[in-house]
Structure 1
Amino acid sequence: MKQLDAFDKALAEFDRRVHQVKDEQWSAGTPCTDWTVRDLVDHLTSEHLWAPLLLRGATLAEVGDRFDGDVLGTDPVGAWEQAAAESKVAFHRRGALDGSVYTTGGLTPAAEYAWQMTMDLTVHAWDLARGIGADDAMDEDLVAMVYDGAESRIGDWQGLGIFAAPVDVAESASTQDRLVALLGRRP
């Protein structure tokens, strides 16, 4: 699967769940123990507000704190839709994945940044589905690609506070269950 195809599928997976959130579910818990459904959607919305600026070469200092705090306002779904649409356009801009972007980890190849965003969308689509009691099954090709990438990087992430420690699952577990377990969630 090509990088942008995976990004688009992951974006669609998360978007589908955002559109399933009922009014009373915004304060529900998620597998991300410190985050409610609203916090989780706010996190992804903020990340996707950053993306167009970073992909155009902005530094972290130039972006500053403009996306700190609640970026959802009174229309969480609308805020997500706008951020996602602008992010998708930015990632699809000709040459967007050829350069580097500034991230908290330093100057990062844009293709790696796209992969990180794809992974984040994928695992958080599962988190959001669990938080609202929706179907958590995701595109199998996407899950396989994200699992392969995460498995090769997980050692670098341990101790950074990015994910909880991996959870043991049976060898016979599905790729999706192995992915979420690898990223510290109980399938």
Structure 2
Amino acid sequence: MTIDIREAYRRTLDDFGALVHRIRPEQWENKTPCVDWDVRALVNHVVGENRWAPELLAGRNVADLGDALDGDLLGDDPLKAFDTSAVAAAQAAGDERSLTCVVHLSFGDVRGEEYITELFADALIHTWDLARAIGADERLDPELVEACAAWFARAEEGYRQAGVIGEQQPVASGTDSQTRLLASWGRRS
């Protein structure tokens, strides 16, 4: 990967956040490409991931937090909830030790660099999901797409076996990188 994963993650959070700030009141219930999620549920998911990041990068595990980060994390001010969570996640990921620490995930331990990469990829794909749901420009940063695609080429089989991504979608030869990446995550762009 040619871009520092911490920088890629921060930039992706910035892009997702810019879209969050464009959500009109009537759009929070719009359907997203994520099955069973409307815009509010999608943003809540990303806020949840953001709130887990500092905890897990600090060495805590799922059992330590119990259900503290379950349910509605957006409250009455979804924009503030996102902004606060994104700052905390980016700061935690930006720490020099974040790349080498051990992160205790529900399925096992991984290096911090892998965890941050997973967070980055999830946020990048959900940036497209949110853009589609609110009718915004769906073009993702090409450098971030390339970084995600390089990592996902190695990780896709595990994600597919775990059932956490949709079925691979067909793409025509000569299709652009973003469309190929989204198709590998089960998205039809």
Is the TM-score greater than 0.5? Answer: yes
Is 1:65 equivalent to 2:70 in the alignment?
Answer: no
Alignment of 1:31-110 (within 5 A): 31-110=33-112
**Does the 8 Å CA contact 2:6/2:90 hold for their aligned counterparts?**
no
- Whether the aligned pair in 1 keeps the contact of 2:74 and 2:82 (CA below 8 Å) is yes
User: Aligned partners of 1:145, 1:171: CA distance in 2, in Å?
Assistant: 21
State which drifts further: 112-121 or 170-179.
Answer: 170-179
Alignment match, 1:140: 142
| TM-score, normalised by the number of residues in structure 2 | 0.96
Q: Which residue of 1 aligns with 2:117?
A: 115
Give the fraction of aligned pairs with identical amino acids, expressed as a percent.
36
Task: Tell me how far apart the structure 1 counterparts of residues 151 and 98 of structure 2 sit (CA, whole Å).
Answer: 21
Give, in whole Å, the separation in 2 of the partners of 1:101 and 1:178.
Answer: 30
Conserved? CA contact 2:168–2:185, under 8 Å: yes
Show the counterpart of 2:24: 22
Q: CA deviation at 1:158?
A: 1.6
Alpha-carbon contact 1:101-1:113 (below 8 Å) kept: yes
Q: For residue 159 of structure 1, give the secondary structure of its aligned residue in structure 2.
A: helix
Q: What is the Cα deviation at residue 127 of structure 1?
A: 0.2
Match of 1:183? 185
Runs of 5+ consecutive residues of structure 2 not aligned to the other structure: none
Runs of 4+ with >6 A deviation:
none
Q: Deviations over 1:69-101 (max 9, x none)?
A: 000001111101001111111111231211111
Give the letter for the 2:94 counterpart: H
Gaps of 5+ in 1: none
